[in-house]
Chains A and B, each alone.
Chain A
Amino acid sequence: MALQLYLDLNSQPCRSVYIFAKKNNIAFEFKPVSLAEGQQYTEEFEKVNLLKRVPALKDGDFTMAESVAILKYLAGKYKTPDHWYPANLQQRARVDEYLAWQHTTIRFHGSRLYMFKGLLPLLSGEPIPTDKMDEAVSDLQTSIRLFEDKFLQDRPFIAGREVSLADLVAIVELMQPLGVGFDPFKDRPKLCSWRDRVEAALGKELLDEAHEKMMKRSGSLSNLDVNSPALQRFAIGLKKTYMSWRLSPSGCKSTC
């Protein structure tokens, strides 16, 4: 049986897995899981991923979750070109370092802003409080500054001269706020140059194709049935993740 990838391309970690598989000509069966329709909550999907999240992978009897782990599994199994996840220990460590750091910074703050400007106020029926919105913008800006200063510096790509899993995971996260009209690349020439290089390395057509759904959806959020049980359940999770406390991008891991 072919490799199965359970994906919703509205989701950033699904896009990195999709792009990687396509770019490396890895044959797979695309199993759509529509988050807006609550398909992640079905009994059938729970058998693939108990955490009820996408992306998920099924390779024969072997199932797994977590996009970063999936990418490394695919790189190893399909022996993709070395630059994606270098065998050289120090170069690999640079990739791992970014992939670890980004979970609670670029990913968290990009997602939060995306939800605050789009789905969450629609689902809850209430606007996001101004102080929370300001904090969300400011935290993302701080994360981006740290990304440029520490992870990119004056290198063409995060690990050095070639694109790697780190750049792939970064770009899909930084594209997300564009879907709600917030441009993280604005007034950041270094970040723009990096984005252009990553786009050239991945292929503009593939990058655009992967992002088409998310960019279109964000323009048609009002078409969603906001009172559906699936979306309301999703909203509870969103509120818990993004409203209850702050993951500060600098200094303390979590503040009160």
Chain B
Amino acid sequence: MALQYYGDLNSQPCRSVYIFLKKNNIPFEFKEVRLFMGEQYSEQFQKLNPLRKVPVIKDGDFVLSESVSILKYLAGKYQTPDHWYPGDLQRRARVNEYLDWQHSGLRPQASRVFLLKGMVPFISGSPGPSAGAMEAVEELTQSVEKFHQKFLQDKPYVAGADISLADLVAIVELMQPLGGGHDPLDGSAPLTAWRERVKKAIGRELFDEVHGPVLNTQQSLESISQKQPELLDAMKKMLFKGGK
């Protein structure tokens, strides 16, 4: 049985895994889990992953969640080109260092800008900047600065001369705020140059295909509000559950 991949391209970690699978010609069966429809909460999906999150892969009986660990597993199993996850200890450490930091250093900040600028205004029914959006953008700006100063510096890619899992995981996160109309790399020539380099290394066609959904967030939400307004209510409950 082919590898099964459960995901939704609106989600950053789903995109890094999808790109890696496609780029390395790893055969897989795409099992879409539509987040806007709440499919991650179905009983069936919960049996697969009690954490109710995507992405997930199923390789025979082996089920694995967490995109960073999935990427490493795939790199090992399919023996992908060394530059993705170098065998050299110190270069690998550079990749791991970024992959660990980004969980709390970049991912939440980028997600929050996407939520506050891309989703909340629409879902709450009050257009215009939501409370906290400005602070969220400022936090993201600081994260991007740390990415630049500590992880990328003046190298072409995080681990040096070649693209690796670090750049792949970074780029999908940095694309997310665009779904809310905010470009986190705007104004930085070195970082926009890095983004172009990464797009080229991945392949523009694949990159653009994968990022279509998030760049069309507003249209998706509009369509949902017209055809399935009850879903917007569900999203509202989910987003503001236990929040301020």
Contact = CB atoms under 8 A, between A and B. Distances in A.
Given A89-B73, A254-B112, A104 B240 contact: no
B50 A149 contact: yes
B72 A69 contact: no
A115 B79 CA distance: 43
B135 A256 contact: no
Interface string A110-151: 000000000000000000000000010000000000100110
A61 to B, nearest CB: 10
Nearest to A146: B51
A247 B108 contact: yes
B47 interface: no
Contacts of B4: none
Interface string B86-123: 00011011101101110110011001100110001000
B77 interface: yes
A96 B66 contact: yes
B185 to A, nearest CB: 20
A97 B146 contact: no
A248 B93 contact: no
Contact of A89 (B52, B76, B150, B244): B76
A100 B103 contact: yes
A252 B100 CA distance: 20
Contacts of A250: 51-52
Contact of A93 (B50, B64, B132): B64
Nearest to B89: A76
Given A66-B96, A256-B132, A251 B52 contact: yes
Contact of B101 (A62, A65, A90, A100): A65
A21 interface: no
Interface string A93-110: 100110111011000100
A68 interface: yes
Contacts of B89: 73, 76-77
| Interface range for B | 35 or more
A255 B97 contact: no
A99 to B, nearest CB: 8
Contact of A104 (B69, B96, B104, B239): B104
A254 B90 CA distance: 32
Contacts of B227: none
Given A69-B97, A76-B92, A244-B135, A255 B73 contact: no
B242 A246 contact: yes
B62 A90 contact: yes
Nearest to A13: B100
Interface residues of A, number: 43
Contact of A103 (B77, B97, B100, B239): B100
A254 B130 CA distance: 15
B50 A103 contact: no
Contacts of A70: 93
B239 A255 contact: yes
Contacts of A65: 97, 101, 150
B238 interface: yes
Interface of A: 50-51, 62, 64-70, 72-73, 76-77, 89-90, 92-93, 96-97, 99-101, 103-104, 108, 135, 146, 149-150, 240, 244-248, 250-256
24 contacts: A65-B101, A66-B96, A66-B97, A69-B93, A69-B97, A69-B99, A70-B93, A72-B93, A73-B96, A89-B73, A89-B76, A92-B72, A97-B65, A99-B69, A101-B51, A103-B100, A108-B104, A146-B51, A150-B50, A253-B107, A254-B115, A255-B115, A255-B242, A256-B132
In the complex, the 9 A-B pairs of residues with the closest C-beta atoms, listed nearest first: A96-B69, A103-B103, A69-B96, A100-B66, A66-B100, A97-B69, A93-B73, A69-B97, A73-B93
Interface of B: 50-52, 62, 64-70, 72-73, 76-77, 89-90, 92-94, 96-97, 99-101, 103-104, 107-108, 111-112, 115-116, 120, 130, 132, 135, 139, 146, 149-150, 238-244
Given A69-B99, A96-B73, A97-B65, 9 more contacts: A50-B146, A69-B100, A90-B73, A92-B73, A96-B68, A246-B242, A250-B52, A252-B239, A256-B243
